[in-house]
């Protein structure tokens, strides 16, 4: 079965989109291939990392990514 791709985009890719990506992959990773990106990538928000860790999901190794960079690499 092919997974449907999902891209979450926000400004800095530092919290909300990272969390959304992690939750979708955690809950429905068998059906979706989630990714996230930002318009102006920043640094990962330590509060987002802490909240996700409390839920048992580790996003600490996830770098912030550029939506433009993903498009240049052929990701849609």
Per-residue pLDDT of the chain (76 residues; tens, 9 = 90+): 799 999 999 999 999 999 999 999 999 999 999 999 999 999 999 999 999 999 999 999 978 988 877 667 766 5
State the residue range of the domain holding 42: 4-72
Is the sign of the CA dihedral 20, 22, 24, 27 positive or negative?
negative
Rounded-to-integer distance, Cα 41 and Cα 44, Å: 9
Please state the pTM of the whole predicted model: 0.87
Token pair for 56? 């048992």
CATH of the domain at 10: 3.40.50.2300
Q: How many domains is the chain partitioned into structurally?
A: 1
Question: With 0-12 CB in 10 A as exposed, 13-18 as middle and 19+ as buried, what is 32?
Answer: middle
């Amino acid at each position: 079965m092919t997974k449907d791709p999902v891209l979450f985009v926000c400004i800095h890719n530092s919290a909300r989109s990272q969390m959304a990506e992690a939750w979708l992959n955690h809950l429905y990773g068998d059906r979706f291939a989630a990714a996230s990106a930002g318009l102006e990538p920043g640094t990962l928000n330590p509060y987002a990392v802490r909240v996700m860790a409390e839920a048992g999901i580790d996003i600490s190794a996830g770098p912030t990514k550029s939506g433009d960079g993903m498009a240049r690499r052929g990701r849609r």
